[in-house]
Amino acid sequence: MRYTILLVITLISFQKVEAMSIFDVGKTCVFSVVKARVTKSGEPLKNVRIIRRWEWSSLQEESTITDETGYFEFPAVFEKSASRLLPVELVIAQGLYVVDGDEEKKIWSNSKREPEENAEFNGRSINLICELTNEMEIYKDFGSRMRTLCSWEE
């Protein structure tokens, strides 16, 4: 029992030290805030369903509807897990999908590997313009390989 407690204390001490309470131990941002505008042939996709999915300990999803300008937004999502106290690699699968008519089209796919908010783009916020007629491209600029048909809005 003493060795287990000592091991947990040691693992916690090697974690990145930030201002957090004991209740934040194991807290991880599994998907940062997403702000995006969706278009098709240059025209805004109005009132279409957008799905955000992520998988860390289990597959989760939520959805929203675009406004009249094709804009949508999702808040950041945080989850807790005791596995964060262990020296294991963090991999969170992320995806964004547009439901256009009967078709569900993937517009963004990524593997998040850092627990901090906005780690997907090395600290930059997720602010996108997504044109559905674009082809999916692979980007290696942010650590893991990301596939998207979106571009970054500055």
Which residue type, as a one-letter code, is found at position 59?
Answer: L
Which residue has better confidence, 46 or 152? 46
pLDDT digits (tens, 9 = 90+) for 59-117: 999 999 999 999 999 999 998 865 545 556 788 999 999 998 899 999 999 988 888 88
Q: Are 14 and 7 in contact (CB under 8 A)?
A: no
Which residue has better confidence, 53 or 141? 53
Cα(110)–Cα(130) distance, integer angstroms: 15
Summarize the confidence of residues 141-146 as an average pLDDT: 68
Q: Are 116 and 33 in contact (CB under 8 A)?
A: no
The count of structural domains within the chain is 1
Spell out where 8-143 has E strands.
27-31, 34-40, 43-44, 49-55, 59-65, 71-74, 77-80, 92-100, 103-112, 126-131, 137-142
What's the confidence (pLDDT) of residue 12? Answer: 47
For the entire predicted model, the pTM comes to 0.77
pLDDT digits (tens, 9 = 90+) for 11-59: 444 444 444 455 556 688 899 999 999 999 999 999 999 999 999 889 9
What's the confidence (pLDDT) of residue 7? Answer: 46
> Which residues constitute the domain of residue 45?
2-152
What's the confidence (pLDDT) of residue 6? Answer: 46
Task: Find the CATH number of the domain harbouring 17.
Answer: 2.60.40.10
